[in-house]
Amino acid sequence: MAKNVYESKTINLIDGTEILMSPLKIKFLKEFMDIFDLIKFATNDEQSIMILSECATICMKQHYPVIENREQLEDLVDLPTIYEMLDICAGIKINGEKEDIEKQAKDESDKSTWNNLDLASLEAEIFIIGSWQNFDHLERSVSMSELLIIIEKIRDLDYNEKKFLAAMQGVDLDEQSGKSNKWEEMKARVFSGGATSNPNDITALQGINAQKAGFGIGMGLGYEKIERKKD
């Protein structure tokens, strides 16, 4: 059973400050992706690194707002730390040991599913819970992984209620509806970073999906010790 919606990690600044980082809330992720999209226009590694540093600065708005601009950030972190921040906060994976940072960043941009999501509709779906004052409050409160988990639970509860009422009428709703896979396909795209829309593809088993399945990329296998009863 999943215990965490996402993983948090601690990064260390050059001055010794420790910062616990986690996926960006939607408010900051939108700003992050607006900047990250500029990577498509970079013509060399230097420009790409500058854009990635700007993205990392946005990560600090959520986790360490003392850092207000890219210049301050670059005085306190090295490039490997910036790459780690991008992975934790937005799932952008850059291997600093490889050449062609520009190409890696553009490949990550091509995999982005941000523009394929109807974010307004997804937010409206959970806004009816009534836990947020407005949509800005909502976006400052939840990350994409949290949003998807909330929606999944809302849809499960709604479907189970309809399934129960249908069963009272002698109707098997599972068989009648065929349960569309579009929702699972969208989740697979988000959790795989755009690599696949097949929910059964191993690349979709990351984060919460991996935990629910019991394994997955970056998770490793677990086991449960079962005590055998004596005869």
Neighbours of 155 (CB within 10 A): 12
The answer as to whether 23 is a domain residue is yes
| Residue 125 shares a structural domain with residue 103 | no
Token code pair at residue 98: 């490889």
The answer as to whether 104 is a domain residue is yes
Query: Which residue range(s) make up the domain with 196?
Result: 119-213
Nearest alpha carbon to residue 113 among 139, 142, 90:
90
| Residue 67 shares a structural domain with residue 153 | no
The answer as to whether 227 is a domain residue is no
| Residue 126 shares a structural domain with residue 141 | yes
H/E run at residue 20: strand 18-21
The answer as to whether 17 is a domain residue is yes
**How many domains does the chain fold into?**
2
| Residue 62 shares a structural domain with residue 91 | yes
pLDDT of residue 53: 95
Mean pLDDT of 76-88: 94
Angle between helices 26-36 and 144-168 (to 10 degrees): 120
| Residue 106 shares a structural domain with residue 123 | no
CB 37 within 8 A of CB 31: no
Query: What pTM value is reported for the model?
Result: 0.68
| Residue 62 shares a structural domain with residue 141 | no
Residue 138 has pLDDT above 90, yes or no: yes
pLDDT of residue 78: 94
> pLDDT tens-digit profile of 123-136?
998 898 888 899 99
| Residue 68 shares a structural domain with residue 51 | yes
* Residue 219 three-state SS: coil
| Residue 98 shares a structural domain with residue 139 | no
Q: Which residues contact 138 (CB under 8 A, 6 or more apart)?
A: 26, 123, 126, 127, 132
- Calculate the CA dihedral of residues 125, 131, 134, 140 and round it to 10 degrees: -90
Last residue of a domain, one of 69, 99, 116: 116
Q: Which residues contact 113 (CB under 8 A, 6 or more apart)?
A: 189, 190, 193, 194
| Residue 131 shares a structural domain with residue 74 | no
| Residue 24 shares a structural domain with residue 107 | yes
The answer as to whether 33 is a domain residue is yes
